[in-house]
Structure 1
Amino acid sequence: MKFNSLLIHGGVDGDEFTGAVNIPIYQTSTYKQETLGVTKGYEYSRTGNPTRDALEKLIAQLEGGIRGFAFASGLAGITAVLTLFKAGDRVLISDNLYGGTFRVLDKIFSNFDIKYSIIDTSELEQVKDNIKEDVKAIFIETPTNPLADITDIKKVSNIAKEKGILTIVDNTFMTPYFQRPITLGADIVIHSGTKYLGGHSDLVAGLVVVNDEAIGEKLHFIQNSTGGVLGPFDSFLLIRGIKTVGVRMDRHNNNAIKIALFLQKREEVEKVYYPGLIDHPSHEVHKAQASGFGGMVSFVIKKEYDYKKFLESLKIITLAESLGGVESLICHPASMTHAAIPKELRDKVGISDNLVRLSVGIEDVSDIEEDLINAFNFK
């Protein structure tokens, strides 16, 4: 089955009991046992729910993995994955990844003596040099959030395999429609399902896919034991969102390329970060491992222009946290999504106060451009 058909018919296709075209919302906490210890496959919805199971099967199939897991948020999924490690273990992380990932490592898992080192995962020699005896995994985003750095997934995965450690990839920006890290050698893939997979800014969810049955068993034990599962209604909504991710990602991608080129020509803009631009330093690396460039464009507003007035002057583009919805959203990483990262570290990697991150929606691109022009006119 081709991928666009798999988006619609993958996982569990319809309901075998009633013939319903869509998976029903099994809004139940518990299940009748025919006799002691004899069930129809379900006993309690924290452990398993038919609607959630359908979603988990679907994302595993789309990513080319063995097992999928659905969580109450992207960070709940990340937390479950990090719970695979024990005191004394260290994780290498990309140097401008999502602030919430940094926060949970820095403020929560550090209490349990799980350590991290921040490196530029796009530099393979840096990756090799930082794999010491206590390193158990490499956690990468590609493209990174918000500076669109690109890591060669296949090469990093090969290095990790040689050292006997895991490769974990946050694939939120690309979705499996554009990029499938497991097929490139990754062991675990993470998504904030809130973003492009849901696609309508109406749910919060996290997804994890693994490519090893033993890791899958451990992760299911963690999921069941800690209980951060996705509810049946949100599972239903996320399945519905995934059905249209192909057509939406194509539109996001096409709009974002036009907006990135538009921004490059604006005198108010100092720099544009977007992997679809030919002058992006890792443009060719990204093209080799992904079939699209996505909808995320970050740019630096020159210091002589007031970025606060710019943000406040937008009318169609919404100033808000999150990304990946059908509507265009813009945020100020330094004070919003990446505020948990210390300022000295933000400055070091390039998350400056005049950097803004634009999630380009699927509106008419001329309306997005006009909104940006009008906002730039308010100096």
Structure 2
Amino acid sequence: MSLPLYLLAMAVFAMGTSEFMLAGLVPDIAADLDVTVGTAGTLTSAFAIGMVVGAPLMAGLARNWPGRSGLLGFVLMFLAAHVVGAATSSFPVLFATRVVAALANAGFLAVALTTAATLVSADKKGRALAVLLSGTTVATIAGVPGGSVLGTLFGWRATFWAVAVFCLPAAIGILKGIPARRGQQDAADGPALRSELAQLRSPRLLLVMLLGALVNAATFASFTFLKPVVTDTAGLGELWISVVLMLFGVGSFAGVTVAGRLSDQRPGLVIAAGGPLLLVGWPVLAALADEPVALLTLVFVQGGLSFALGSTLITRVLYEAAGAPTMAGSYATAAFNVGAAVGPLVAATTLSTPVGNLGPLWASGLLVAVALLIAFPLRTVIAAGRRTEVLR
């Protein structure tokens, strides 16, 4: 894997910290801005909605831009949104900054995914995606727990300021490490935008996008509302939230790493083995959440399974969208973040039910069950693996 790919992952780290950090900050934001916890939880959905809308929109706009300039512009836009978010005392303004930050993140990730695919051979897209997503998983290991500690000690605004500061070395890395390619020339040599958008009529592409969205919805449904499970259900102290988030991150890093080795050649194996385990894991976690040791263990396991399965499905999106070289990354980004938008909204509706704080965990299990019910009769299509790429 090339150095520019790891520099892109560094920027993804800063953005991933922002995307996931609300898991430890939602109650504090709610109290500070005088809104309910459920309402504050919609900040995660706001970010995800911005990512869904922004991925194809920004990728379409940036396909004719010089690649390095586009990536740098998105990082600086992301930085500015966090400065405004850290300074505001208005929930609607904070909500708006999350959307703007998401648009920037979407544009960056869509271009970065497409760029990453060009930095490796055609049969190693899964490994390239694993490197990029390692930035996200390292964010859950170090950035998000660190942000949670900052939020606990100095208030949630400190975490927003920290993300803004982390954008600076990411921007320098892009300037120094990413070649100044001419995006306009690359787009002119490839298919027309209309032809790339027409790829969305492919049933195979839509299938893997749907499955990726469902699995990611399950991940975000629980991840967004982990704090009440840790402090209320398990009875652990505030600082244990960071430990739980870190364990989830370590598990997700392990899952992405393993899946990156398998998702190019044997995606069916990852889905067949990981899917049922992930399905069983969520209700087991709900049943044992009041036992701290079980909670800590299962959070690690579910993090690994969630990202192994999710990253494999997102890799399949890149393969199925091979006919859309400048837009494939936006399709993968949109699929990932449709789930991130839907998951917390579904989970929020369960908080007022008799299961209370455990509702999001049960919702995650239901979402994975839906994904597997759809995937099972079509498993041979999903498991096509490298053959799809070869036949193109």
Q: TM-score, normalised by structure 2?
A: 0.26
Q: Which has the higher strand share?
A: 1
The structure whose Rg is larger is: 1
Q: Which has the higher helix share?
A: 2
Q: TM-score, normalised by structure 1?
A: 0.27
